Each structure stands twice: as C-alpha cells, then as structure tokens.
A and B are shown apart, each in its own frame.
Chain A
Amino acid sequence: MRIPIAALIGLIFTGAYFLAAIFAGLLAPYGMAEIVGDVWEPASAEHWLGTDSIGRDLLSRMIWGGQTTIFVATAATILSFTLGSILGFIAAVRGGWVDQLLSRGVDLMMSIPSLISALVVLSVMPVTLPVLILVMGLLDATRVFRLSRAVAVDIAVMDYVEAARLRGEKQTWIIFREILPNALSPLVAEMGLRFIFSVLFISTLSFLGLGVQPPLADWGGIVKENKEGIVYGIPAALIPAVAIATLAISVNLVADWVLNRTTSLKGGRGG
C-alpha cells in the first residue's frame, strides 16, 4: 500500500501535534503559568516565541495550550461518535417510531446553530472542562447521527444483514458485527472533520471567555490574553492561528485520503 505524499505530510503533522500534546510536560521549556520574563518580549534564544501579556513563555503556553485544546476536542469527538453512531445505527435498524423520534429530535437540535445553543446552555451551567466536553459532544452528535443513520440505512437492507436476522441474531450483534464494520470507513473520515470542528469550536468558546478558564492555557485563550498587543504591532495573538491552521489542514489531508481509499474500494478496482 502506497501512501500519497499529501496524506503522509498530514499524518506526520497530526502525529507530531498529538505527541506534543501527550508529552507537553517533557517538551515545554517552562511551566504553564510560570512568569519568566518581561511583558511581550520579542523572540530570543531563551524564549523562542517571545513572552505573553504578563511575561509567561509563549512556546510553553502554546504546548500546554495544545494539550488542553487537543484533549477537549478529542474527548468531545469520542463522545459524539459513540453517542451519534450508536443512536444512528439503532434508528436505522429499528425503523418505525424509534427512528421518527430520534430523527425529529435531531432535526430540532440542528434547527438552532450550535454556537448559539452552546452559549445558551453555558449561561446557566458552570464552565468547567467536563461540562464543555459534554455540551460540545452532545451538539456534535447530531451530525454524526445523520451520517451514520444514512450509511446504516443502506447497509441494513443488504442480504447478509437479512441472513443474520433470519438466523436469529440479536440487535446488538446486527449493529456491532454486521453494520459497524461496513460503515467504519466513511465514519472514520467524518471523525477527522468533526475533530477539526471541535478544535475550532473550543477555541472560539475560549476566545469569547466562555471556554477553558485561566490560568489553564488553550489556543483560543492565548488569543484572548494577547489581543491587546495587536494594535501595537505585537503578533503574539496570531501564533495560535498557525497552530490551528496547520493542524486543521493536516487532519483534512488524512481524512481526504481515508475517504478516497474507501471510494476506490467500493468500485472494486485499483485501491
């Protein structure tokens, strides 16, 4: 199997970000909230990216912030996929009123833009990491539900599913042993896109001051903390843009590759 060059670059960058997030404690030259210098020092040998609005090392903030951002986004993605795909498969397999109830409920949730729903809920809930993950995961599960239901409806009418039904397999067997393996590839590609969406979403919430709370670092929060510097020509607030954009593009490249690979599999030729 040859991996195309674009996908390889994507894999390397994505892997690097995840490794940096996992080993943040070893990589970061200074502590997360440690004040080590002057306000907004320019880049130097001691501080590769300079320092932030209260004199913390920006590179360390970015690494610790990446850990928080990637952790929250990953947890939200796992939650939305587990919930969304299981409910989607159940809706497709059961049909009838179960399907109607779930699908109309999802329609309703999607009739309000997710940022607005999140803001409405966060106005009465305490803003902590578990609450953020829960809110983002639930809102995102609606989109996963739509995709997995659509994929599973196509699979549920296949002969091998019929055969499994006739031999008297239980619903859990049909969902996990017959449908899940065949629906996996489009879901994996979608997972990449959902993960990126979660990264953008948590960054936006933190930027608005309603996401990750200080002194914990995260990419959106770093923009918020350093935005006053922009008008003086200090680009500290723009550094997270580079991190978010490269992560988003590299995950996109991997997702494209996974999707292309599976469409050629369906054709039965090449691949």
Chain B
Amino acid sequence: MHPILKLLVQRIALGLLLLLAASVLIFVGTTVLPGDVAQNILGQGATPQALENLRQQLGMNDPAHVRYFNWLGGVLQGDLGTALTNGQDIATSMGQRLGNTLFLAFWAAVVSVPLAIGLGLIAVRYRNRWPDKVISTITLATVSVPEFLLGYIAIFILSVQFRALPSLAMINESMSLGEQLYAISLPVLVLVLTVLGHMMRMTRAAILNVMQSAYIETAELKGLAPFTIIYRHAFPNAIAPVVNVVMLNLAYLVVGVVVVEVVFVYPGMGQYLVDHVAKRDVPVVQACGLVFAAVYIGMNIIADVVSILANPRLRHPK
C-alpha cells in the first residue's frame, strides 16, 4: 500500500474511533451524571407516579450499558429516537433544520475564506505598517465581542437605523435563492465577522513563518516584486497550514451557528438544540450533540487529510 494512503486510512479510522468515543461521552454526560435525571426534568413538585413513568419512558430502569447500545444501534440505523416533549420523530424534525444550518454555514464560509486569506496576504505585504495595524486592530475588536452581541449590534445599525436588511432570518422552501440569501444576509455577516479575526491572524502567521525561509530571501535579492514573491513562492508552501486554519475555523463556524441562529430566530439545528436543552428533552439533546460532534470531528479529519495531501515531503517518501 502506498504510504500516503496508509496514513490517510489511519487518520480516518482514528477519527471514526474518536466519534464513537464521543458518543459514549455524550451518553455518559446526559445519563450517568450524579442526580436523578427524571427528577431534574420534572422538577421538585413531581409525583412519584410521574417520575416512575418518565423513568420507564427513558428506559432508566435498564443498566447504563444496555441503554447505550440500544441508543447507538438506533442511531446507526438512522433512528434518533422520539422527542419527550412532543413525541415526534427526531430524525424527521432534524433533517430540514440540518439543511438550513449547513446552508447558513456554507454561505458564511464562501464569504469569509477568500476574505480572510486576502486580508492575511495584505497584512503580510504591509507588515508593521498601517494596513497591517488597521486590520489587526479591527480583527482584535471583533474577536473580543461575543457572537450574539455582534448580532444585535448589526441588527441595531443595519436593520433598525438604516432599515436596509431584515432583522429576522426566516427562510422556507418556496423562496427563491435570491430571497433566501437576502433573508440570511445579517447572520452571514455576523458569522463572517466572528471567524474572520482568527482565520486572518492565523493565515498571517502561517505566511510570515514561510517568509522567513532562505528561498524567500533569494527571491527578494533577485528583484521580484513583493506580491509576486508572496503568491509564487510563499503561498504554495503555506497552503497546508492555511488549509488547516480554514478547516478549523469552519468547524468553529458550525458551533458559532448555534448562538447566531438564536439571535436571528433562524430555523436551524442550533435553535432546535437550545430550545430542547431548556425543556430538558434529553433524547433531542443527545441526538443534536452527536450530530454537532460528528460535523466537528469530520471537519478536523478533512483538515488533517488535506494537510497530508498538501505536504510534498509525505507525497514522495524515501
């Protein structure tokens, strides 16, 4: 087997193992913690009969490992269980919402990735001069404010003062793509601002690291223009770290979505999760937690795979 293929298979297998372990962690986090789950869900005033019924419904009377394997078996067959609060099938109510969340995250990524890389390049080109300092200051300001507050600041300025963009991101299938994009413009803006800072700073650091190598000095000495040096010599060698940075931030995007969805009342996974945490609907929380963990771990696997593929030292083994 080609060594690079072996490396990839190892990495993916490790990721799947990690996902399995994460599912154990989520299950343990919701059921084996100290305290009576049924009591916590129903509150202090619950009658013993109601507690017993809920325990029966949750399968609390079985030992923990039996419940775990029942749950995992169901998940593997696409059965995420039923919600306690309304008795609906979780997989069906989640499907559309997951699509909506990925739609939002996708457009945020489409805007933020080129922007972050472009700003990173400019910051490196004009290092320690005013464009670099302006970019650094603005990105420091955006990472110092939590997402939900950025959201309300954007609503306050753009939809209340200037009445330019909608403050609620309601979308449905009957809308055209243009209408949908208009509806999600503010949440996309907020998500872009939250990931832009980190992504741009890490891109800048990765390219600066490459810029200190001897071959860059050679290129400078033979008289190449600064931007030519960056995109012909520095950028190809910085691809692996930059892709890594981008994927890690996209993974973060999927989490940042949770809060932004609540701000803009967007019908996605984050809203679904937060609503059901407040209602203490354990099966829904477990299912959402597992989906978020799967997306996050998946993004991290892709980041590693790309950096393995982009590393020429690994492509041509001795």
CA distance A111 to B251 in the complex (A): 11
CA distance A250 to B252 in the complex (A): 25
Residues of B within 8 A of A (CB): 18-19, 21-22, 25-26, 29-31, 33, 35, 37, 40-41, 140-141, 144-149, 152-153, 155-156, 159-161, 167, 251-252, 254-255, 258-259, 262, 273-274, 276-278, 280-282, 285-286, 288-289, 292-293, 296-297, 300
Interface window among A56-64, A75-83, A144-152, A232-240? A232-240
Complex interface: chain B residues within 8 A of A103 (CB): none
Contact B146 A203 (CB under 8 A): yes
Contact A204 B259 (CB under 8 A): yes
Who on chain A is nearest to B27 by CB? A120
Complex interface: chain A residues within 8 A of B145 (CB): 241, 244-245, 248
Within the complex, what minimum Cβ distance (angstroms) separates B81 from chain A? 14
Given contacts A207-B262, A227-B152, 6 further A-B pairs with CB under 8 A are A113-B255, A116-B258, A120-B285, A123-B280, A233-B160, A241-B152
Binary per-residue interface labels of chain A (118-157) against chain B in the complex, 1 for a CB within 8 Å, 0 otherwise: 0111111110000000000000000000000000000000
Contact B156 A123 (CB under 8 A): no
Q: Does A188 contact B (CB under 8 A)?
A: no
Contact A210 B26 (CB under 8 A): no
List 27 A-B residue pairs with CB atoms under 8 Å apart, sorted by A's residue number. A111-B19, A112-B289, A113-B252, A113-B292, A113-B293, A116-B292, A116-B293, A117-B25, A119-B289, A120-B286, A121-B29, A122-B277, A124-B29, A124-B37, A124-B40, A204-B148, A207-B146, A207-B148, A207-B262, A209-B278, A210-B278, A223-B148, A223-B152, A230-B160, A238-B149, A244-B145, A249-B140
Complex interface: chain B residues within 8 A of A237 (CB): 152
Q: Does A108 contact B (CB under 8 A)?
A: yes
Who on chain A is nearest to B285 by CB? A123
Within the complex, what minimum Cβ distance (angstroms) separates B259 from chain A? 6
Complex interface: chain A residues within 8 A of B153 (CB): 238, 241
Who on chain A is nearest to B36 by CB? A124
Known A124-B40, A249-B141; judge A230-B286 contact (CB<8 A).
no
Contact A111 B144 (CB under 8 A): no
CA distance A231 to B140 in the complex (A): 28
Instruction: Give the contacts of A214-248 with B (CB-CB under 8 A).
Output: 220, 223, 227, 230-233, 235, 237-238, 240-241, 244-245, 248
CA distance A121 to B29 in the complex (A): 6
Q: Which of B22, B140, B285, B286 contacts A108 (CB 8 A)?
A: B22
